[in-house]
Structure 1
Amino acid sequence: MTIRRATLDDQAAMRDVCLRTGHGGQDATGSWSDDGLRPDAFLEPYVRYPASRCWVVDDGAGTAAAARPAAGPGLLHDAGTLPDRMLDDASAPLPAHLHVDMLPELQRRGHGRRLMRALGESLAADGVPGVHLRVGDGNQVAVASCRRLGFDERHDDDGYLMTIASQRLAAL
């Protein structure tokens, strides 16, 4: 398994992983009226703007996992998303909004830790203070993974807000 920066050549595989993990970590195929909508909304802005912030786990047969942060509210806005809905008082100090998709067959094998370490090193080098992500109550696999990696957490009506400094990710 290789951890590397994503390229546009990874786009089709990343779209597949996004769909196959898009329903609380489970397969989201058929859950929306068009299976292309989920990756259009939750992948494309990150892959295309800027692609250099996306990292993948390449299993040799194609991309099997992806981490993609948007570094700050300006980038989120420019990427076509709504930063005011992604930032609140708890996440504002760590403004990079993170999405992570990992196929179940790669989970619990250390690939996520290696992926997060590479991402943390990159973000820290770029001066990005840290990341935050939202995890729904139904995705306890992701909650447990974030806890093992040392994310701080806050639970509210929207699920879990998980945060971590880039330096902490880089030290994994």
Structure 2
Amino acid sequence: MALDMGGGFTLRQAGDEDHDALAMICLKTGDAGKDASAREDDPLLIGAIYALPYQVIEPLFAFVIEHPDHGVCGYVLGAPDTDRFYRVIEQTWYRTLRTKVADPGPDMRAWRGSDWARRLIHHPKYVFPKSLYPYPAHGHIDLLPVAQGKGLGGTALRFLMAQLAARRVTGIHLGVDPKNTGAVRFYDRLGFTPLVADDLPKGSLYMVKSF
């Protein structure tokens, strides 16, 4: 399956061979949409949390944007059943990853480099309260600068949502860094709305859309 997005860009299903590219894109967009390379001492850990497990656990809903000159330069990843996804990632992905990554402990003052990610691997934050139940799917989308400003992100996310809706998923939620105002505007244009609920973590922002 491949979708011609115009301008030489193609959306296709992600495979195991794309793991390095997924991790790289996640790193290059990991600081509220900006490059996080300067702050991380392990460039792979962000991707190990936010990108790679989606391709492994939900390969039917993992897609990359590719260009013949630029290679893989974006991705859109989804999980149709958030509750199930969190159970599986805990029992399989994180259980294995914890044998390779040491827990830096709870003292944030002592953390350096990618210690925040190491801590998160050992103590994941699974956010799926009742207010999100009407939107059981969740997803992630990130594009490198070369793929931005061309409408590719909207096309990719609409494609993912169509795949989810075709399987009778009722809605999707996306966690957004409140500082990433560009992302908030992007989701707003796609018909997402901010969810206001008492059971969401303080200071968080979740954008939701029903199908």
| TM-score class normalised by the smaller sequence | 0.7 to 0.9
Measured against aligned partners, the alpha-carbon deviations of 1:16-40 in whole angstroms (never above 9, x if no partner) come to 1111001100111132331111111
How far apart, in 1, do the equivalents of 2:178 and 2:161 lie? 25
Measured against aligned partners, the alpha-carbon deviations of 1:52-107 in whole angstroms (never above 9, x if no partner) come to 21112112232111111122211222023789732123322111121111112322
Indicate conservation of the 8 Å contact 1:4/1:57, yes or no: yes
Matched, 1:24 2:32: yes
CA distance 1:127–1:44, shift in 2 (3 Å) = same
How far apart, in 1, do the equivalents of 2:133 and 2:39 lie? 31
Aligned to 2:164: 123
Aligned residues: 166
Q: Which segments of 5 or more consecutive residues in structure 1 lack a partner in the other structure? A: 168-172
Indicate conservation of the 8 Å contact 1:77/1:83, yes or no: no
Measured against aligned partners, the alpha-carbon deviations of 1:120-169 in whole angstroms (never above 9, x if no partner) come to 1211112222211111121011111001111011367323210112x3xx
Indicate conservation of the 8 Å contact 2:177/2:204, yes or no: yes
Matched, 1:77 2:122: no
Asked which structure has the greater CA Rg, the reply is 2
How far apart, in 2, do the equivalents of 1:67 and 1:119 lie? 7
Matched, 1:103 2:144: yes
SS in structure 2 at match of 1:146: helix
SS in structure 2 at match of 1:86: coil
How far apart, in 2, do the equivalents of 1:46 and 1:93 lie? 21
How far apart, in 1, do the equivalents of 2:73 and 2:165 lie? 24
Residue pairs, 1:86-97, within 5 angstroms = 86-97=127-138
Q: What RMSD over aligned residues (CA atoms) do the two structures have, in Å?
A: 2.0
After TM superposition, the score normalised by the length of structure 2 is 0.72
Percent identity (aligned): 30
After TM superposition, the score normalised by the length of structure 1 is 0.87
Indicate conservation of the 8 Å contact 2:58/2:78, yes or no: no
Matched, 1:143 2:184: yes
How far apart, in 1, do the equivalents of 2:124 and 2:135 lie? 13
Matched, 1:13 2:21: yes
